[in-house]
Structure 1
Amino acid sequence: MKHLLLGIALILSVSSAADEPKKTKDTKLFCVVSGDEIDKNNLNDQDYSKYKEGKVYFCCGGCKMDFDEDPKKFSTKANFQLVATKQYEQTACPVNSGSIHSEKAKKKLKKVTVNGMEVDLCCPGCLKKYTKSKDKFSLLFSDKAYEKGFDVASQQAKKPSGKTSKK
């Protein structure tokens, strides 16, 4: 009987592990300049620029040059990419810098999804601002919002690397 239960548990764990690679949305990023897809699993082969305390990845050297010329122009998308690559993590509400980690805050917490990424908002008031916003992406990932709600991830999460293009 023990062997039968162990066998079933093994089969279930193998079949659930086999299902994991189907999450293709989780393995793709987009170039902040062109919007072309970048394979998140092959960042070592991608051009990148240092941005804030992380790296922003591009589909080609031309996009890297455009970004390097005027990073401010692409900052909202670059901020999003830093979180998508787990170089930065959410630490507070990006709308008003309210806590999202206390027990009291967790009861009021509202979750929204923007471009496939889940973002926590601290209260119904911030959710209302988000709902009314015509540019939800910028509301959550502009430089101003980024300062309020995101910070460098722990060192263990900072693994992506890549190649730099020569200027």
Structure 2
Amino acid sequence: MIQNLERASVALLVFAALALALSGTALAGEEKAAATHLYGNHVCPVSGKPVVSDVSVTYENKEKGVYGRIYLCCPGCVKAAKKDLEGLYKKFYLTDAKTGKAKEPKDLKNEACPMSGEKVDPSAKIEYNGMIIHFCCPGCADGFLEDPEAKMAKLLPDAKEFELKPAEAKKDK
């Protein structure tokens, strides 16, 4: 009886160790995937250095349904960036980088809600970082804004223009 209990305990420990090891591998893969794209500016507007994904300031114009993140290289740049959030938003997301002329937000024309997977309602949409994103209902837009990078990765998983260059990805960790 005691031997059976010991065997069961050993088997349980082995199973637990294996499960823990596999979950760590899965988490490392998720972190790597999260660091390959950044759906916003890649250059700090204050320093001109590459940005990191966990330092940003938020721009909101709720009346117009416009939201965005201005990414920065370090917490030291936050105060300077907050001085002109609207200007920075327009510079990074509504200005053609080649011509310097104003441009319209890009409509992603997504047919499925990035939150629920349901068919979108044409009136339920927001502008985020210069892109029009459609939802099945206004409530899903609120949920989207809680963690927009993860949802953008679902909408645009292979978008080359949002890939972090190796030097940027390295600094992001």
Normalising to structure 1: TM-score of the pair? 0.38
Higher helix share: 1
Larger Rg: 2
Normalising to structure 2: TM-score of the pair? 0.37
Q: Which has the higher contact order (CA 8 A, sep 6+)?
A: 1
